[in-house]
Amino acid sequence: MQVAGEMIIGRSAVVGKEGTMKAIDPSRNVEIEPAFGLAGAADLQRAAELADAAFDVYRATGLEARAKFLETIADRIMDLGPALIERAMQETGLPQARLEGERGRTCNQLKLFAKVVRDGRWQSATLDSALPERTPPRSDLRLRKIGLGPVAVFGASNFPLAFSVAGGDTASALAAGCPVIVKAHSAHLGTSELVGKAVAKAAQECDMPEGVFSMLIGSGQTIGQNLVSHPAIKAVGFTGSRAGGIALMKTAAARKEPIPVYAEMSSINPVFLLPGSLDNAKLPQSFADSLTLGAGQFCTNPGLLIALKSDKLQAFVDAAAGTIGGKGASTMLTPGIHKAYVNGVGSLAGVEGVTQVAAGQTTDAPCAAQAFLYQVDAQRFLTDAALEGEIFGPTSLLVVCDDVAQMLAVAEHLEGQLTAAVHATEADRETAARLLPVLERKVGRILFNGFGTGVEVSHAMVHGGPFPSTSDSRSTSVGASAIDRFVRPVCYQDVPAYLLPESLSDANPQNIPRVVNGDLAWKA
């Protein structure tokens, strides 16, 4: 399949007429052919109308048909073969192995949600029988969850497949019975077109309604904000900057009918190094590897280390400095991201009391990020807000604490985070026990003796957290529970049996687990 500079509106491949845009090869900082036509108001309106018309038809599809659709999307993505990986490499500067792994993760997400759909638990089917003899009588009450409606999904810059056109937001929204309109990210236009056409092909093969999927190309102002403002859109999935997420939240809140925005935004992912862990000779290498993985362009990158002052900590710093010093500079995703990284490092280095303790190798290649480790004392960190900002790239700040009380104060001071890691041994049990309840209030995923880079797609995973890591701490953008963002409960009172949805009928033809009169009733 060739890249043609097209977007997808329903079953049509369309070239926008509101100007053009080209992707950029960050390894050379040059534009890549072809030019992509940008969507205008008429394109957005057509996609929204199709999605609105498709909603009732699509949400009425059987569980098996919907699950098969998700699996077919995965198959059609795999059918793209090397062409997809080659285009993604060109547009992102990411290595082949990383992108092949991400393609596998993307397809596994789709298959996970196919399983979730078939399982049926996401519907929360609940039946309370009528009690006519009771005073007062109780009506027959039945509850299920249904999709919210068409969902706007924004592709992320740092995951051209797994958080993009057919990524987790799209997969979970489609699983919930919601049509999806994707705004493709400008950093990987060709990759988005290829995947978008694969989704559209799967939709047609599975006889899904035309408006179940569309993909628009355009600027954030003219398409992104207008998409969120459109009355047909009932929810938003976003992964990106804090500024971008907050802008969409404001737009959604200002609508005549406000809608939820599930935005994954900013996180520095603190790592607590308790004294016992510093005896681990492999820890400096593990930290440096996590810090520089993918040029540090992970939302779970370890951007903050917190430790107690000691000779063992200095030994860790010395070893980490040596390891980081051997790390080569890596190409970042876009010139804009690289510029923001350089500016962020410069701002951090210019803060009084901050010292550089490690630096990676440099290169003359464009858009390449040099790794850094900086250090500051806890008192300075607690009093200078400039030290709390996310630097999207391979730079971390070590905060040195005088005692455990100061370490706990730093933990209390932190904003909401996606992850927090604690490195500890049995000897650190008391401190870890005091730290854990603080972290439970601050983050979505707590891990011990590891680093947050690497998010497993599973039933138990939480990729979310309190603001500003996300806009809604009750949700996750990765894992089976991501479907919960795009459904809402509906109660059916005394509805005739012939009108009840299958999930609530007495016969339970979907053969799903349900709660009946307060007791869990498993499949027949």
Task: Name the packing angle between helices 63-79 and 189-205 (round to 10°).
Answer: 140
- The residues assigned a catalytic role are 264, 299
Residue 312, number of CB atoms within 10 A of its CB: 16
Last residue of a domain, one of 399, 431, 448: 448
Residue 444 sits in a domain whose CATH number is 3.40.309.10
The number of domains in the chain is 2
In a domain, 417, yes or no: yes
Query: Which DSSP category does 224 fall into?
Result: I
Residues 276 and 260 in one domain: no
d(CA 191, CA 164): 10
Query: Does residue 433 share a domain with residue 316?
Result: yes
Residues of the domain holding 372:
270-448
Which H helix or E strand runs over 429? helix 429-442
pLDDT tens for each residue of the chain, 524 residues long: 799 999 999 999 999 999 999 999 999 999 999 999 999 999 999 999 999 999 999 999 999 999 999 999 999 999 999 999 999 999 999 999 999 999 999 999 999 999 999 999 999 999 999 999 999 999 999 999 999 999 999 999 999 999 999 999 999 999 999 999 999 999 999 999 999 999 999 999 999 999 999 999 998 677 999 999 999 999 999 999 999 999 999 999 999 999 999 999 999 999 999 999 999 999 999 999 999 999 999 999 999 999 999 999 999 999 999 999 999 999 999 999 999 999 999 999 999 999 999 999 999 999 999 999 999 999 999 999 999 999 999 999 999 999 999 999 999 999 999 999 999 999 999 999 999 999 999 999 999 999 999 899 999 999 999 999 999 999 999 999 999 999 999 999 999 999 999 999 999 999 999 999 999 987 65
The reply to whether 283 and 376 lie within a common domain is yes
Q: Are 176 and 50 in a shared domain?
A: yes
**pLDDT reported for residue 523:** 64
pLDDT score recorded for residue 524: 55
376-406 per-residue burial string, b: 16 or more CB within 10 A, e: under 16? bbbbebbeeeebbebbbbbbbbbbbbeebeb
User: Can you read off the two tokens belonging to residue 361?
Assistant: 């190798």
pTM for this entry: 0.96
Instruction: Assess whether 115 and 45 both reside in one domain.
Output: yes
Judgement on whether residues 171 and 222 belong to the same structural domain of the protein: yes
Strands (E), 184-260: 213-216, 235-239
Same domain (yes/no): 259, 278:
no
Residues 252 and 374 in one domain: no
CATH number at residue 261: 3.40.605.10
| Beta strands 395-401 and 304-308, pairing class | parallel
